[in-house]
């Protein structure tokens, strides 16, 4: 069995790893010690919750605060942490901590999981990931504690703060406040809103960019093209999204920008989204579809994909080469961005179609929003999740899994041939 697994491609091993963690997580959440007295949890809901946690989504069929004991919430937090860092990175971190060496297969897995171009310095990079995560999450928990301790006993406030910091940095919209309220009680708390937004932002730009910022001491000229693209697109989307949400919804500027940040794969909300207009939901849907950045804890097609796609379209329309930040954008990057976007659109459209078949009473906008949230591993919902039928929950589980691994990775899992033996002459085809 082990020899069979070793022969598989890195993408397949990572996919199997995520599936195994999801299955184990569902069993842990079904343990009697994980569930509060008097509460019944069906396995489909435990599987849905485990998938949502490992895929760092945050969509909930059952409320974590009202359903799980502190131990169950600890299991849920660990699933979020493993899912955010990635099964491969966590496994590599354990190997490094034990003082053992990572073999060539392990290095290949890390490169695949973290979107790295080179295999150099992988062990150091894994250590940096774990240290960076610990420092940021502990800092976030400490700052969040100053808010939660005002409403809860110190020990409970500490648990809520740690869970919230882990969920926010890993771009997973879970909360343990109970009653499906998310962060609505704290919509006007500037401190918690800003801390949460910063955790989401740094979790969403990716570990490679965080390392560049730390080494370059936040100097723009020292950053690579990738880092400049990620940071600039992220900031532009936050500003544009915040302004558009404020124009369409009756929310404060703080609430508008919070949801603009959160929609980029985090899934926290300070206002009930079921009361948002279709225009507001459409803005959030677009932000969810774009998502976070490569090598981050978030999903979506990624900011760099969106940036490359837009510049490729502009270049084709103006008959100019694509350039940005004094660099030329490789043509292969545009081809890959186009494929990823088309596959993502296919997943979202087909998922919305299937959900509407199974949920005829759900509006098209609500179904599209739910499926896009699942694909982008966001966790925002208009409130329909707990009432979905089992078929729709299984569909969401599959969509979340595809969104976490990436549609291109899923498509490549079925590729078995090693090379083309037959070549044909190029033909002509009319485009446009």
SS3 state of residue 175: coil
Q: Where are the domains of the chain?
A: 8-411
Alpha helix segments (H runs only) across 217-330: 225-248, 253-262, 278-290, 303-318
The pLDDT value recorded for residue 141 is 95
Unique residue bearing structure tokens 């199974």: 358
Could you tell me which of 387, 340, 84 has the C-alpha nearest to residue 206? 84
CB atoms within 10 A of CB 131: 11
C-beta of residue 43 within 8 angstroms of C-beta of residue 25 = no
Helix, strand, coil proportions of the chain in percent (round to 5)? 65, 0, 30
C-alpha distances in angstroms, 147 versus 70, 140, 150, 153, 246?
Answer: 20, 11, 6, 12, 26
Query: How many Å apart are CA 15 and CA 353, to the nearest integer?
Result: 25
- The DSSP-derived string for 114-136 is HT-S--TTHHHHHHHHHHHHHHH
Report the length, in residues, of the chain.
Answer: 432
pLDDT of the chain along its 432 residues, tens only? 545 555 666 667 778 888 889 999 999 999 999 999 989 999 999 999 999 999 888 888 899 989 999 999 999 999 999 888 776 566 666 655 665 666 665 666 666 656 666 556 677 777 888 888 899 999 999 999 999 999 999 999 999 999 999 999 998 889 999 888 889 999 999 999 999 999 999 988 888 888 888 876 678 888 888 888 999 999 999 999 999 999 999 999 999 999 999 998 888 999 999 899 999 999 999 999 998 888 777 788 999 899 999 888 888 788 777 777 777 888 788 888 898 999 999 999 999 999 999 999 999 999 999 999 999 989 899 989 988 999 999 999 999 999 888 776 776 665 555 555 667 777 777 766
Is the torsion defined by CA of 174, 177, 183, 186 positive or negative? negative
Q: 147-156 contacts: CB < 8 A, separation 24 or more?
A: 147/186, 147/189, 147/191, 147/192, 147/195
pTM > 0.85: yes or no: yes
Give the residue among 346, 336, 285, 267 at the shortest CA–CA distance from 307: 336
DSSP assignment of 12-63: HHHHHHHHHHHHHHHHHHHSGGGB-TT----HHHHHHHHHHHHTT----SS-
């Amino acid at each position: 069995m082990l020899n069979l697994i070793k022969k598989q491609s890195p993408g397949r091993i990572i996919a199997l790893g995520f599936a195994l963690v999801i299955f184990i997580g569902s069993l842990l959440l079904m343990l009697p010690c994980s569930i509060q007295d008097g509460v019944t949890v069906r396995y489909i809901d435990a599987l849905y919750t485990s998938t949502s946690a490992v895929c760092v989504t945050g969509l909930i069929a059952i409320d974590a605060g009202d359903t799980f004991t502190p131990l169950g919430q600890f299991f849920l937090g660990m699933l979020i942490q493993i899912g955010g860092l990635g099964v491969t990175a966590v496994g590599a971190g354990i190997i490094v901590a034990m003082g053992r060496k990572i073999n060539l297969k392990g290095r290949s897995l890390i490169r695949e999981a973290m979107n790295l171009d080179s295999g150099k310095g992988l062990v150091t990079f894994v250590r940096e990931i774990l240290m960076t995560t610990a420092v940021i999450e502990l800092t976030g928990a400490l700052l969040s504690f100053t808010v939660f301790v005002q409403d809860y006993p110190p020990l409970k406030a500490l648990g809520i703060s740690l869970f919230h910091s882990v969920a926010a940095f890993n771009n997973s919209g879970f909360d343990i406040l109970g009653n499906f309220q998310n962060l609505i009680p704290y919509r006007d708390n500037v401190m918690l809103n800003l801390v949460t937004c910063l955790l989401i932002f740094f979790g969403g730009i990716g570990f490679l960019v965080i390392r560049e910022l730390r080494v370059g001491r936040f100097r723009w000229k020292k950053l690579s093209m990738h880092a400049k693209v990620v940071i600039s697109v992220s900031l532009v989307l936050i500003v544009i999204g915040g302004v558009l949400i404020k124009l369409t919804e009756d929310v404060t500027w703080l609430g508008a920008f919070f949801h603009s940040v959160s929609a980029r794969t985090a899934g926290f909300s300070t206002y009930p989204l079921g009361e948002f207009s279709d225009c507001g939901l459409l803005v959030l849907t677009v932000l969810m579809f774009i998502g976070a950045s490569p090598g981050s804890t978030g999903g979506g097609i990624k900011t760099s994909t969106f940036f490359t796609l837009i510049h490729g379209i502009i270049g084709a329309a103006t008959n100019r080469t694509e350039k940005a930040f004094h660099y030329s954008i490789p043509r292969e990057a545009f081809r890959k961005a186009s494929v990823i976007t088309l596959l993502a659109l296919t997943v979202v459209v087909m998922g919305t179609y299937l959900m509407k078949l199974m949920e005829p009473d759900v509006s098209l906008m609500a179904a599209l929003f739910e499926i896009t949230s699942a694909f982008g591993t966001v966790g925002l919902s208009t409130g329909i999740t707990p009432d979905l039928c089992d078929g729709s929950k299984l569909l969401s589980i599959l969509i979340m899994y595809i969104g976490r691994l990436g549609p291109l990775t899923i498509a490549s899992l079925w590729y078995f041939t090693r090379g083309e033996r037959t070549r044909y002459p190029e033909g002509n085809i009319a485009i446009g």
